[in-house]
Amino acid sequence: MHACSIRELKKEYVLKGETVRALRGVSFDVPEGDYVAIMGPSGSGKSTLLNLLGCLDQPTSGQLLLGADNVAKMTDNQLAEIRSTRIGFVFQSYNLIQQLTVVENIEVPLYYQGRLGAKQRRRCIELAERVGLSQRLGHRPSQLSGGQQQRVAIARSLVNDPYFILADEATGNLDSRTTAEILALFDELNQEGRTLIMVTHEDDVAARAKRVIRLRDGLLQSDTPNAPEQRQAAADRAHAAAAQALAAEAELMVQADRSPD
Ligand SMILES: Nc1ncnc2c1ncn2[C@@H]1O[C@H](COP(=O)(O)OP(=O)(O)OP(=O)(O)O)[C@@H](O)[C@H]1O
Ligand SMILES: [Mg+2]
């Protein structure tokens, strides 16, 4: 079973009478359990592709299958339904609701579907625990670090049992230590069978995926698997950098302690 299949996917934008061909016929499959990084220069069509995968927009032509659903043939209402029930989004800017607690933010997609019973509430708490926030259930976003906020967003993306998690530069706002934590969480989720598709500009982040798709001028330029050793080496580098950052922080704290005041 494929989480998604796309065939000759095209997207054209018409702007002031001029046609921009953002995607010019892209085809690939994402099997369930895959972990894909999408890369490419600015303007190559990454966001356009992610918007189509996320059912935020319709292709001009071509086929997009999510599971057994043919997205290219859907009405706006059907698209909205799929988007809210079967796609997990993780954005660079977290997109949390400031007035709500951690657990309430995770509940949001269920709340909108009117499906928030006691059982679902318990599941949201379990998801918060799953992403390492068991001590922060009642905190609000402003009381959390960037990495913790991104964990909330990841837990929220899991609430719907999505076809896949779509992450757009999910670590773009995070320091190296927090990036390492979030990527370790992605590794765990993928090992549990979750399908991940992420757009990234960073080679170190893309090296963690199972496969890298490169776009160029709206076309698929390459689709290359990452060797397991290469992925492991990238994870090791990230952990080493994170440990170093932690040690440097501890050293600063010791120095601050020693300085006379
Ligand atoms: N709504 C729109 N209307 C008109 N043209 C658009 C629209 N959205 C994107 N484009 C054009 O489509 C092409 C692909 O844009 P897209 O945003 O997918 O690139 P990208 O790979 O995500 O780039 P970046 O790395 O800068 O985010 C670009 O030439 C862009 O100008
Ligand atoms: Mg973009």
Rounded alpha-carbon distances, angstroms, from residue 88 to 29, 55, 121, 155, 210? 18, 11, 18, 9, 19
**C-alpha to C-alpha distance for 38 and 212, rounded to whole angstroms:** 6
- Residue 22 in contact with ligand 1 by CB distance below 6 A: yes
**Which residue from 215, 237, 253 is spatially nearest to 25, judged by alpha carbons?**
215
Per the confidence metrics, is the pTM higher than 0.85?
Answer: yes
Ligand 2 centroid from CA 6, angstroms: 19
- Residue 147 in contact with ligand 1 by CB distance below 6 A: no
- Residue 200 in contact with ligand 1 by CB distance below 6 A: no
Domains of the chain, CATH where assigned: 32-55+88-258 (3.40.50.300)
Which ligand ends up closest to the CA of 218?
1
Q: What is the pLDDT along the chain (261 residues), one digit of tens a residue?
A: 788 999 999 999 998 999 999 999 999 999 999 999 999 999 999 999 999 999 999 999 999 999 888 888 889 899 988 888 888 999 888 899 999 999 999 999 888 888 888 999 999 999 999 999 999 999 999 999 999 999 999 999 999 888 899 999 888 888 888 889 899 999 999 999 999 999 999 999 999 999 999 999 999 999 999 999 999 999 999 889 888 888 888 888 888 887 766
- Residue 47 in contact with ligand 1 by CB distance below 6 A: yes
Task: Assign 58 to helix, strand or coil.
Answer: coil
**C-alpha to C-alpha distance for 29 and 50, rounded to whole angstroms:** 14
Burial 211-240 (b: 16+ CB within 10 A, else e): bbbbbeebebeeeeebeeeebeebbeebee
